[in-house]
Amino acid sequence: MNRMGKRTTQYICQSCGAMFSKWMGQCDVCKDWNCVVEELTESKPLADNISIPDNFFETIPDTGKSQPDATRHETEMKEINRVLGGGFVDGSVILLGGNPGIGKSTLLMQLLSAIKGIEHYIYISAEESTKQVSMRAQRLKVTNDDLRIASSSNIHQILTALSEIKHNSIVVIDSIQTISSDLIQSPPGSISQVRFCTQELVNFAKNNDVIVVIVGHVTKDGAIAGPKTLEHMVDCVLYFEGDKAYDYRILRCEKNRYGSTDEIGVFAMTTEGLREVANPSSAFLSEYDDNVSGVAVFSGIEGTRPILSEIQALVSNTSNPAPRRSAIGFDPYRLSMLVAVLSNRCKLNFSNKDVYLNIAGGLKITEPAIDLAVVAAIVSSAFHRPLPQGAVFFGEVSLSGEIRQSHLSYSRIKEAQKLGFSQVICSYKTEDFDKNEKIRLRKIKSIREILGILNK
């Protein structure tokens, strides 16, 4: 066993974390260019005697008699509780990712005054001075006398300052890309630094049973620096997303060791900080006008919650031999596929048409049940005719043009009814429900039937 300290030079890809013994212009693993950087790593010598504590091995408590004690701290922000599956668990490490300026620092500052029953509240910023942090806290009307803020970018200084902090505490580190260790030669933000500092913070959280929230800025392609390496080190990965042109912000869970990853939280950025959006459906439909062509309402499910959103399509003539299929908030490949299904199954000609798709409010939707709403919006725009008034759509479209059933149909229909919609256009396989309901179900088998709906 090597007990000596050692200095080594490694070449590490800043995109995927792959290590090489020599420099290269293109990473062999992820094929990204100009991302392999030389990094010096210095390993510390091992201690002579490695001691084993008495309680190194533990037994699992009998769940029948006593519940395992994973204390959860609920917050006053219901949207955060929803995303985390109940609240923060002691000793867990949460990574909050998002584009710069999207509102991560704002969210965490508000969180610190919304989480109760905590002994030590600590916010450490490596990006802003304590004055800037406290100005923001004042503007956000954060009322928490127990909150302590600090500004430091040295991980060892931070951990020494935190040495007294134990159980029942929350520490926010803003951000992982700006803190660093002197033991690592490479600059802050590099893979080695980010990985080392995260590991130190994880050890601190686990050894002291403290909740640690780490902010991570995402890179241009939407990944947190050293993405995969960081994601497996922490217990929970949250992404804060949204379009800066809109007020809406979505908190999404990418990984959660203590709950499901399906739920989303919806917020609106206001002049007084983030406000929770209790009824996202009406928020995303606020500007919906059912007299316009190219607009369809989709009744979707995010986690367990139905959310209605507005799907806008524009079909326009083009002389470009390779017409554009472009989408915001939706997978462009799926858009191309749906256009191909429409051309083939409905005999519509899109070879001289550009097709654009947008989901209003900056939402991103990945569930296949959106297909029918997308197809309806495209057809409506192509024929310059609005879809029927008060209609919502959901259903997956298969390559054969058949409309497939979607899960949680009943919740989708109920939500549409709650918001005053009068008809639902969905798959022929959707189960009937209470006949007394006022909303009408129009079940269709093939996308060809959309043309009929349009013409009436």
What do you get for the CA distance between the two ends of the chain, in Å?
80
Measured CA to CA, the distance from residue 229 to residue 236 in angstroms comes to 13
| 230 is a contact residue toward ligand TYD (CB under 6 A) | no
Q: How far is the CB of 106 from Mg ion (least distance, A)?
A: 8
- Cβ proximity to ligand TYD: between 106 and 193 the closer is 106
Name, in order, each residue with C-beta under 8 angstroms of 255's C-beta and a sequence gap of 6 or more: 231, 234, 235, 236, 237, 261
Please report which helix (H) or strand (E) contains residue 316, including its range. Answer: strand 305-317
Q: Binding marks (x or -) toward ligand TYD, 79..98, rule CB under 6 A?
A: -------------------x
Please report which helix (H) or strand (E) contains residue 307, including its range. Answer: strand 305-317
Q: Binding marks (x or -) toward ligand TYD, 130..169, rule CB under 6 A?
A: ------x--xx-----------------------------
Please give the DSSP secondary-structure letter assigned to residue 231.
Answer: H
Measured CA to CA, the distance from residue 106 to residue 271 in angstroms comes to 11
Name, in order, each residue with C-beta under 8 angstroms of 129's C-beta and a sequence gap of 6 or more: 151
Token pair recorded at residue 184: 């690592």
Candidates 17, 91, 259, 273: give the one binding ligand TYD (CB under 6 A). Answer: 273
Measured CA to CA, the distance from residue 286 to residue 280 in angstroms comes to 10
Report what 269 binds from ligand TYD, Mg ion, none; CB cut-off 5-8 Å by kind.
Answer: ligand TYD
Report what 101 binds from ligand TYD, Mg ion, none; CB cut-off 5-8 Å by kind.
Answer: ligand TYD
Q: How far is the CB of 140 from Mg ion (least distance, A)?
A: 13
CA atoms within 13 A on the CB side of 162: 33
Question: 143: closest CA among 167, 176, 116, 124?
Answer: 116
Burial of 439 (0-12, 13-18, 19+ CB in 10 A): middle
Please give the DSSP secondary-structure letter assigned to residue 385.
Answer: -
Per the CB < 8 A criterion, the answer to whether 241 and 104 are in contact is: no
| 271 is a contact residue toward ligand TYD (CB under 6 A) | yes
Residue 303: count other Cβ atoms within 10 Å of its Cβ.
17
Please report which helix (H) or strand (E) contains residue 94, including its range. Answer: strand 93-98
Crossing angle of helices 448-455 and 332-346, rounded to 10°: 80
Q: How far is the CB of 105 from Mg ion (least distance, A)?
A: 3
Q: Is 381 helix (H, G, I), strand (E, B) or coil?
A: helix
| 252 is a contact residue toward ligand TYD (CB under 6 A) | no
Name, in order, each residue with C-beta under 8 angstroms of 449's C-beta and a sequence gap of 6 or more: none
Report what 100 binds from ligand TYD, Mg ion, none; CB cut-off 5-8 Å by kind.
Answer: ligand TYD
Q: How far is the CB of 366 from ligand TYD (least distance, A)?
A: 23
Restricted to residues 14-43, the positions that interact with ligand TYD (CB under 6 A) are none
Identity of the amino acid at 228: K
Restricted to residues 98-117, the positions that interact with ligand TYD (CB under 6 A) are 98, 100-106
| 188 is a contact residue toward ligand TYD (CB under 6 A) | no
Report what 98 binds from Mg ion, ligand TYD, none; CB cut-off 5-8 Å by kind.
Answer: ligand TYD
- Cβ proximity to ligand TYD: between 76 and 272 the closer is 272
| 272 is a contact residue toward ligand TYD (CB under 6 A) | yes
| 222 is a contact residue toward ligand TYD (CB under 6 A) | no
Report what 273 binds from Mg ion, ligand TYD, none; CB cut-off 5-8 Å by kind.
Answer: ligand TYD
Q: Which one of 45-53, 201-209, 271-279, 424-432 is the stretch in contact with ligand TYD (CB under 6 A)?
A: 271-279
| 379 is a contact residue toward ligand TYD (CB under 6 A) | no
Please give the DSSP secondary-structure letter assigned to residue 60.
Answer: P
Question: 365: closest CA among 339, 335, 330?
Answer: 330
Report what 106 binds from Mg ion, ligand TYD, none; CB cut-off 5-8 Å by kind.
Answer: ligand TYD
- Cβ proximity to ligand TYD: between 71 and 151 the closer is 151
Q: How far is the CB of 104 from Mg ion (least distance, A)?
A: 5
Q: How far is the CB of 170 from ligand TYD (least distance, A)?
A: 17
Q: Which one of 18-26, 252-260, 267-275, 279-287 is the stretch in contact with ligand TYD (CB under 6 A)?
A: 267-275
| 195 is a contact residue toward ligand TYD (CB under 6 A) | no
Crossing angle of helices 104-114 and 130-139, rounded to 10°: 70
| 214 is a contact residue toward ligand TYD (CB under 6 A) | no
- Cβ proximity to Mg ion: between 109 and 392 the closer is 109
Crossing angle of helices 371-382 and 332-346, rounded to 10°: 60
Residues of this chain that interact with Mg ion (CB under 5 A) are 105
Report what 92 binds from ligand TYD, Mg ion, none; CB cut-off 5-8 Å by kind.
Answer: none
Q: How far is the CB of 292 from ligand TYD (least distance, A)?
A: 30
- Where does this chain bind ligand TYD (CB under 6 A)? 98, 100-106, 136, 139-140, 269, 271-273
